[in-house]
Structure 1
Amino acid sequence: MWLMFFNRTQLSEKWSIHNEIQDRSYDISHKEEQLLLRFGINYHIKKNLWLTAGFGYIESYPPEGVARPTLIEHRIWQQVLHTHFLGRVVVEHRGRLEQRFVGDQYRDRVRYRFMATVPITRERMAPKTFFATAYDEIFFHFEDTPYDRNRLYVAAGYQFSRAVSVQSGWLAQNFSGKTKGYLQLGVFANILQPDK
Structure 2
Amino acid sequence: MIKRTFAFLAGISFGLLAAQKSDVGNWLMLFGNEKINPKFNIHYEVQYRNYDFIGDLNQLLLRTGIGYNLSENNNNVLLGYAYVHSHNYDADQNISQLDEHRLFQQFITKQKFGRVQLNHRYRIEERFLQPKTEVRFRYQLGIIVPFNNTSLVKNTWYASVYDEIFINAKKEAFDRNRLYAAVGYVINDKMRIEGGLMNQMLSNTDRYQFQIGFYLNDIFGLMR
Within the alignment, does 1:185 sit opposite 2:195 as a pair?
A: no
Q: Do the aligned partners of 1:117 and 1:132 also contact (CA within 8 Å) in 2?
A: yes
Within the alignment, does 1:5 sit opposite 2:59 as a pair?
A: no
> For the structure 1 residues 195 and 69, does the alpha-carbon distance in structure 2 shift closer, same or farther, using more than 3 Å as the test?
closer
1:175 to 181, 194, 202: 202
> For the structure 1 residues 22 and 195, does the alpha-carbon distance in structure 2 shift closer, same or farther, using more than 3 Å as the test?
closer
Give the letter aligned to residue 97 of structure 1.
I
> For the structure 1 residues 12 and 182, does the alpha-carbon distance in structure 2 shift closer, same or farther, using more than 3 Å as the test?
same
Once the two structures are TM-superposed, the CA of residue 177 in structure 1 deviates from its matched residue by 1.8
1:32 to 57, 61, 72: 57
Once the two structures are TM-superposed, the CA of residue 152 in structure 1 deviates from its matched residue by 0.1
- Relative to total residues, which structure has the larger strand share, 1 or 2? 1
TM-score by length of 2: 0.83
Q: What is the rounded CA distance, in whole Å, between the counterparts of 2:183 and 2:146 in structure 1?
A: 10
1:125 to 152, 159, 162: 152
Q: Do the aligned partners of 1:33 and 1:63 also contact (CA within 8 Å) in 2?
A: no
Q: Do the aligned partners of 2:174 and 2:203 also contact (CA within 8 Å) in 1?
A: no
Q: What is the rounded CA distance, in whole Å, between the counterparts of 1:16 and 1:29 in structure 2?
A: 34
Q: Secondary structure of the equivalent of 1:160? A: strand
Q: What is the rounded CA distance, in whole Å, between the counterparts of 1:88 and 1:63 in structure 2?
A: 44
Q: Do the aligned partners of 2:141 and 2:162 also contact (CA within 8 Å) in 1?
A: yes
Give the letter aligned to residue 49 of structure 1.
N
Once the two structures are TM-superposed, the CA of residue 68 in structure 1 deviates from its matched residue by 4.4
Q: C-alpha offsets along residues 124-176 of structure 1, whole Å, 9 cap, x if unaligned?
A: 22111000010000000111311110000000000112210000100000013
2:82 to 56, 66, 69: 56
Q: What is the rounded CA distance, in whole Å, between the counterparts of 2:69 and 2:128 in structure 1?
A: 28
Q: How does 1:1-196 map to 2 (within 5 A)?
A: 1-47=26-72, 48-63=74-89, 66-191=93-218
**Percentage of identical aligned residues:** 34
TM-score by length of 1: 0.95
- Relative to total residues, which structure has the larger helix share, 1 or 2? 2
Q: Do the aligned partners of 1:38 and 1:55 also contact (CA within 8 Å) in 2?
A: yes
Higher mean C-alpha displacement, 55-64 vs 90-99: 55-64
Give the letter aligned to residue 6 of structure 1.
F
Q: Secondary structure of the equivalent of 1:107? A: strand
Higher mean C-alpha displacement, 175-184 vs 71-80: 175-184
| Aligned-residue RMSD, C-alpha | 1.8
> For the structure 1 residues 194 and 120, does the alpha-carbon distance in structure 2 shift closer, same or farther, using more than 3 Å as the test?
farther
Flag structure 1 segments of 5+ consecutive residues without an equivalent. Answer: none
> For the structure 1 residues 195 and 162, does the alpha-carbon distance in structure 2 shift closer, same or farther, using more than 3 Å as the test?
farther
Q: Secondary structure of the equivalent of 1:30? A: coil
Q: Do the aligned partners of 2:35 and 2:218 also contact (CA within 8 Å) in 1?
A: yes
Q: Secondary structure of the equivalent of 2:29? A: strand
